Amino acid sequence: MTQDCPLHSVLSVLLSYPEAPLLESLDDIDQALAEWPQARSLLAPLTGLLRDTPLIALQENYVATFDRNPAHSLHLFEHVHGESRDRGQAMVDLLDEYRREGFDLVTAELPDYVPLFLEFLGALAIDGKEAHAEQLLGDAIHVLAAIGDRLARNDSPYASVFAVLRTLTDVQPQAQEDPPVRDMDEALEMFGPGADGVEPLLTGGGLPSPACGRGAGGQGEHVAPIQFVAKPTPGLSPAQPSALEAQS
């Protein structure tokens, strides 16, 4: 994994709700994936889908795949705790983990949203904390692998993201029970409503551009939504102005 462009960050982008900036940055994503030939090969079905399918069809497919099928939910703890109060506490604990590392959520998504979690792992790698990122991935790989297996059984190209995640940890996934029935009420009461497809852009220091691409001006292009804002480093100014507030 390169420090400037962790693979977790690229996977976070590919697993996010498809928007025009993502499609416009597929060449940058492909260039970033050149660092990992195995991952690039595994992801070919998904990157091919993104290249060859109209945006509206991609968005409809994404909603049908993840939002309308609880077995494919991108909320980790929905597959573990279901309707129990343990789910709310698990999300509080995960949010505390983000904050301990200096990041606040700047999205309406819940803390256990998989693209958000992957972006956090990428941010840890940027900070030189690859071992901690690997530990957290190992903790989550059982659920992630189960989601990927269900996607694969339905011939979804998104299964490729989860196949790559399995190559990034030595932990062997354990079999998971079928996911419980969806009940978001308690989580939404605690954390607020989600906003499918409507999320803020990347900002703040210490975080990679998700596709790790370079624009004409030599600056990393902001390809997909950001889920965190970093704490400001004393004595350093942010790379660019932002409407988002850093954790104080």
> For 193-218, what is each residue's pLDDT tens digit?
444 333 332 233 344 444 454 333 33
35 in Cβ contact with 10 (< 8 Å): no
pLDDT exceeds 50 at position 123? yes
Report domain 7-230's class. mainly alpha
Rounded alpha-carbon distances, angstroms, from residue 232 to 65, 102, 124, 238: 37, 9, 15, 7
Instruction: Look up the pTM and report it.
Output: 0.74
Quick one: average pLDDT of 226-240? 36
Q: How far, rounded to the nearest angstrom, does the alpha carbon of residue 11 sit from its chain's CA centroid?
A: 7
67 in Cβ contact with 109 (< 8 Å): no
**Mean pLDDT over all residues of the chain?**
75
Quick one: average pLDDT of 53-58? 98
Mean pLDDT check: name the lowest of 8-17, 69-78, 160-169, 178-187.
178-187
Predicted confidence band at 4 (pLDDT cuts at 50, 70, 90)?
low
Q: Which of 172, 169, 185, 95 is nearest to 136 (CA)?
A: 169
Residue 221 vs residue 175, higher pLDDT: 175
pLDDT value for 212? 55
CA atoms in the 13 A half-sphere facing the CB of 88? 13
pLDDT value for 131? 93
